Amino acid sequence: DRLVDEKTDWCRPNNTRSKNDLVRKPCLTNPEYRNSLRKMLASKVEKMKEYSMHDFSLGDECLFVVGDYDLCFSDTCRADFKRFVKEEYGTIEKLNAEYGTTCKSFDEVEPLPFESAKEQDQIAGWVDHRLHMDSVWAGIFGFCRDSIRGVAPGARVGYEGSNLHVDSYSAGDYWKLSRAMNLNNIYYQPFQAAALASFASKGDLLGFGWIGGYGAPHAKKHNYETQYRSWLTLLKGGNSLWVWNAGGPSSGSVSAPEYEFYDYFQDALSAVREMKAGLGKALIRAERQADFGIYYSPASIHTAKFMGTRLGNDAHLQDISQLTIDLGFQPFIYSPEQVKGGMLLRNKPKAVYMSFIQSISMEEAEALKKYVAGGGVLIADICPGVRNAHGKLLQSGLLNNVFGISGSTGNSIKQGELVPDGIRLVGRTLVLPYDSGVSLNGGRAAGRVGDAPAIIHNSYGKGRAVLLNFSIEGYIPSRVNWPENQYAALMRSILANLEIFPDVKTGTQVPGLEVTRFKSGGLQYITFLQDIVSTSIELTGSSMFVAVPDKKPVTKFTATMPSEGYVYNVRDGKYMGKGRQAALGIKVLEPAVLAVVPYKIEGISLSAVPGRVEQGQKLRYSIKVNSNDATKIEEQIVRIQFINPRGQEVEHYGGNIPVTGSAEQEQRLALNEAPGIWTIVARDLISGSMAKTCFIVGGTKR
Domains of the chain: 1-185 (3.20.20.80), 292-497 (3.40.50.880), 513-597 (2.60.40.1180), 601-698 (2.60.40.1930)
Confidence of residue 538 (pLDDT cuts 50, 70, 90): low
Q: Reduce the DSSP state of residue 666 to 3 states and report it.
A: strand
The 10 Å CB-count burial string (b at 16+, else e) for 398-421 is bbbbbbbbbbbbbeebeebebebe
Instruction: Tell me how far CA of residue 513 lies from CA of 189, 232, 693, in angstroms.
Output: 16, 12, 42
State the Cα–Cα distance between residues 226 and 213, nearest whole angstrom: 9
Q: Is this model's pTM higher than 0.85 or not?
A: yes
Give the model's pLDDT for residue 540: 54
Mean pLDDT of 191-211: 96
Q: Tell me the angle at which helices 92-99 and 75-89 cross, rounded to the nearest 10 degrees.
A: 100
List, in sequence order, every residue forming a beta bridge with 636; answer none if it has no partner. Answer: 659
Average pLDDT of the residues of the chain: 93
Q: Which of 229-238, 404-413, 455-464 has the lowest mean pLDDT?
A: 404-413
Q: What is the pLDDT of residues 474-522, one digit of tens each?
A: 899 888 777 678 899 899 999 999 999 999 999 888 989 999 999 999 9
**Cis, peptide link before residue 483, omega less than 30° from 0:** yes
Give the model's pLDDT for residue 226: 84
Work out the angle at residue 184's Cα, subtended by the Cα atoms of residues 178 and 190, and round it to the nearest 5 degrees: 85
State the Cα–Cα distance between residues 677 and 222, nearest whole angstrom: 42
State the Cα–Cα distance between residues 155 and 433, nearest whole angstrom: 47
Give the model's pLDDT for residue 542: 47
Q: What is the pLDDT of residues 378-389, one digit of tens each?
A: 999 999 999 999
Give the model's pLDDT for residue 477: 87
Sheet arrangement for strand 523-530:
287-289, 513-520, 523-530, 592-597, 554-569, 574-587
- Cβ burial, residue 106 (10 Å; 0-12/13-18/19+): middle
State the Cα–Cα distance between residues 307 and 312, nearest whole angstrom: 11
State the Cα–Cα distance between residues 496 and 625, nearest whole angstrom: 41
Q: What is the pLDDT of residues 78-123, one digit of tens each?
A: 999 999 999 999 999 999 999 999 999 999 999 999 999 999 999 9
In terms of DSSP bridges, do strands 662-668 and 618-627 run parallel, antiparallel, or are they unpaired? antiparallel
State the Cα–Cα distance between residues 112 and 254, nearest whole angstrom: 48
Q: What is the pLDDT of residues 642-675, one digit of tens each?
A: 999 999 999 999 999 999 999 999 999 999 999 9
List, in sequence order, every residue forming a beta bridge with 446; answer none if it has no partner. Answer: 455
Mean pLDDT of 411-425: 86
Going through 266-320 in order, the beta strands assigned E by DSSP cover 287-289, 292-295
Give the model's pLDDT for residue 483: 67
Mean pLDDT of 185-203: 96
* Between 440 and 541, residue with greater pLDDT: 440
For residues 85 and 106, the answer to whether their CB atoms sit within 8 Å is yes
Q: What is the pLDDT of residues 340-371, one digit of tens each?
A: 999 999 999 999 999 999 999 999 999 999 99
Give the model's pLDDT for residue 575: 98
Q: What is the pLDDT of residues 546-574, one digit of tens each?
A: 667 777 788 999 999 999 999 999 999 99
State the Cα–Cα distance between residues 326 and 511, nearest whole angstrom: 8
For residues 607 and 687, the answer to whether their CB atoms sit within 8 Å is no
Give the model's pLDDT for residue 485: 86
State the Cα–Cα distance between residues 472 and 479, nearest whole angstrom: 13
State the Cα–Cα distance between residues 649 and 652, nearest whole angstrom: 9
Is the CA virtual torsion 347, 351, 353, 357 positive or negative?
positive
Question: What single-letter DSSP state applies at residue 261?
Answer: B
Q: Reduce the DSSP state of residue 116 to 3 states and report it.
A: helix
State the Cα–Cα distance between residues 262 and 245, nearest whole angstrom: 12
For residues 8 and 66, the answer to whether their CB atoms sit within 8 Å is yes
State the Cα–Cα distance between residues 326 and 305, nearest whole angstrom: 29
Q: Which of 248-252, 395-399, 564-568, 611-615 has the lowest mean pLDDT?
A: 248-252
Q: 3-state DSSP helix/strand/coil percent for the chain, to nearest 5?
A: 30, 30, 40
Work out the angle at residue 172's Cα, subtended by the Cα atoms of residues 167 and 173, and round it to the nearest 5 degrees: 110
Q: What is the pLDDT of residues 37-71, one digit of tens each?
A: 999 999 999 999 889 899 999 999 999 999 999 99
